[in-house]
Amino acid sequence: MNKYLVALRVGGLMGMPEITYQDFDIIEANSRDEAQEKYNKIHNCSYFYGACLAEKVDGKITVLNKKVSYEQIEELVKEQTNDLQKRNQMLEAKILDWYAKSKDEKFAEHFEIKETSDGRV
């Protein structure tokens, strides 16, 4: 399976002539069409639909939409990565807080926690 950057394509109408992209998502699929179908189903699209902006095949990223630059795609990937890092840090903090309160020895052994003090690990 390949990974596709898919976004909701909005605009192209008399009252909204400029086409813009929003609600970006990374979809795993075997083809662009399948990625767009999955996106449309996930996001319940009924008026505006998803469009593939880029694909990642064998580690190589290819821009599929000429109106989207590599810099824009790079920025989207960074945003998504930063968001994941923030969530990961939050989960780590919650887990360590739970451990500090429970003192579960198996947990400490598994994660190689050696000592705690003042509720901090």
Predicted pLDDT at 114 = 67
Q: Which two tokens stand for residue 63?
A: 């821009």
Span 86-106, pLDDT tens digits: 888 888 888 878 777 777 777
Q: pTM of the full predicted structure?
A: 0.58
Q: Which two tokens stand for residue 106?
A: 């198996």
Residue whose token pair is 């109408």: 13
In single-letter form, the type of residue at position 94 comes to K
Q: Over pLDDT 90: what percentage of the chain? A: 30
Span 54-98, pLDDT tens digits: 888 887 888 888 777 777 777 767 766 767 778 888 888 888 787
CB of 54 closer than 8 Å to CB of 5: yes
What ranges do the domains of the chain cover?
A: 1-68, 69-112
Q: How far is the C-alpha of 49 from the C-alpha of 85, rounded, in Å?
A: 29
C-alpha torsion 98→99→101→106, nearest 10: 130
Band (34; pLDDT cuts 50, 70, 90): very high
Predicted pLDDT at 51 = 94
Q: Which long-range contacts (CB under 8 A, 24 or more apart) does 37-41 make?
A: 39/6
